[in-house]
Amino acid sequence: MKNLPKKITFNKPYLSGKELYYVADAIRSGKTSGNGLYTKKCHDFFEGKFGFKKVLLTTSCTHALEMAALLINIQPGDEVIIPSFTFVSSANAFILQGAKAVFTDSCSDQPNIDAEHIESLISSKTKAIVVVHYAGVACDMKKIMRLADKHGIFVIEDAAHAIDSYYQNETPLGSIGHLSTFSFHETKNLISGEGGMLVVNDDQFAERAEIIWEKGTNRAAFWRGEVDKYNWVDIGSSYLPSEMIAAFLYAQLENLSSIQERRKEVWNIYYEGLNILNNNSKVRLPLIPDYAMNNGHMFYLVCNSLQERTGLINNLNQNNIHAVFHYISLHKSPYYKNKHDGRELANADKYSDRLVRLPFYYELTNSDQNKIIKSILKFYSSV
């Protein structure tokens, strides 16, 4: 058989070693549905490691966002301020409950929500601000929390990219907003195939979060012996993952520091190898504001035009390197474009058109990474 040249994929899910062992253990234990021993181990880990007040594993970050929309009691007509440059779930979870998305632009020098623009968008109908820590880089949380306090609205952190990332060096992302959500989808730093987590930082939501999580019942309190019957007490759905998923995730949690160390190393190698292009303005490398840090979630470049980005992606593809663009501005999506109020969001569109993500995973070899860097430098030596 002919040896086809090996393709460098965009992502490769990393198994840290004990995933199968713990999944088998969960199956052998006889308790395979949710909220068992492995779910508890994961909850304890997150609460201990990051000081989150209360966490609930979910079947996805999408579902954690839907729980957040139910918890803050979104009603038809409520407005939610959301960055346009994000994944559909950051908005869809609120739209499902009848909210109107008020899409907001990104900063000019990096993709996060432009906090300067938020206040002018707040109206008497505004219920919440959703922030997304793009690529694990913190949003301007002090400014955003101050605005939210001033106007009495909630902040929900979509921290899907942001595990083990900190604001001002010490405050874990996900611990700042009233509610926060994480993802363990196979493209994230920690994975369980599909999976996610809701973080409840505001105590007023703690009890109801558990009820919504368990199909609108007080089953979690019943298991703890706090009530003597378990009943249908509120609305809810089935948001808890099975023990097999929690067991898989637990193996990843035990290796959090080595996973993070390796991923940050991959990030640094890209940064050092490509910095020359940043210095001579051929591309923009990720900008990390002084209140934020890099958590090794992804590495991206911002090209000078859509045409240039298409050329780069095609060129890398011909070299068997799979690089990809990212979000398409939600205010221009087929679903929302006719509902958007018409404001131009030029920076969100810039990142839609010009941002490209490079292959990024734990097992990316140094020689593959060097090949990627060389290919990009070569491409830019000719444009």
Please state the closest distance from residue 325 (CB atom) to ligand PLP, in A: 14
The dihedral built from the CA positions of residue 350, 352, 356 and 360, taken in this order, carries a sign that is positive
Nearest to 359 by CA among 340, 372, 344, 376: 372
Please state the closest distance from residue 59 (CB atom) to ligand PLP, in A: 8
Instruction: Tell me how far apart the alpha carbons of residues 262 and 268 are, in angstroms, rounded to a whole number.
Output: 10
Nearest to 195 by CA among 151, 157, 156, 163: 163
List CB contacts of 152: < 8 A, sequence separation 6 or more: none
Q: In this complex, which beta carbon is closest to ligand PLP, that of residue 39 or of residue 218?
A: 39
Please state the closest distance from residue 135 (CB atom) to ligand PLP, in A: 10
The size of the chain, in residues, is 383
Q: 3-state class of 216 per DSSP?
A: coil
Instruction: Tell me how far apart the alpha carbons of residues 109 and 111 are, in angstroms, rounded to a whole number.
Output: 7
Please state the closest distance from residue 173 (CB atom) to ligand PLP, in A: 12
Q: In this complex, which beta carbon is closest to ligand PLP, that of residue 186 or of residue 234?
A: 186
Nearest to 296 by CA among 146, 136, 149: 136
Please state the closest distance from residue 276 (CB atom) to ligand PLP, in A: 29
Question: Would strands 300-302 and 179-183 be described as parallel, antiparallel, or unpaired?
Answer: unpaired
> What are the structure tokens assigned to 145, written together?
């929390």
Q: In this complex, which beta carbon is closest to ligand PLP, that of residue 87 or of residue 336?
A: 87
Q: Under a CB-based contact definition with an 8 Å cutoff, are residues 55 and 43 in contact? A: yes
**Cα angle, residue 46 at apex, residues 229 and 93 outer, rounded to 5°:** 70
Q: Calculate the dihedral angle through the C-alpha atoms of 227, 231, 235, 239, rounding to the nearest 10 degrees.
A: 80
Nearest to 161 by CA among 211, 193, 196, 206: 196
Q: In this complex, which beta carbon is closest to ligand PLP, that of residue 248 or of residue 380?
A: 248
Please state the closest distance from residue 204 (CB atom) to ligand PLP, in A: 24
CB atoms within 10 A of CB 325: 18
Q: In this complex, which beta carbon is closest to ligand PLP, that of residue 60 or of residue 255?
A: 60
Residue 169's identity, in one-letter code, is N
Residue 25's identity, in one-letter code, is D
Please state the closest distance from residue 298 (CB atom) to ligand PLP, in A: 9
CB atoms within 10 A of CB 64: 32
Please state the closest distance from residue 109 (CB atom) to ligand PLP, in A: 20
Binding site for ligand PLP (CB under 6 A): 60-62, 86-87, 89-90, 132, 158, 160-161, 183, 185, 196
Q: In this complex, which beta carbon is closest to ligand PLP, that of residue 93 or of residue 321?
A: 93
Residue written as token pair 């990212």: 326
Please state the closest distance from residue 185 (CB atom) to ligand PLP, in A: 4
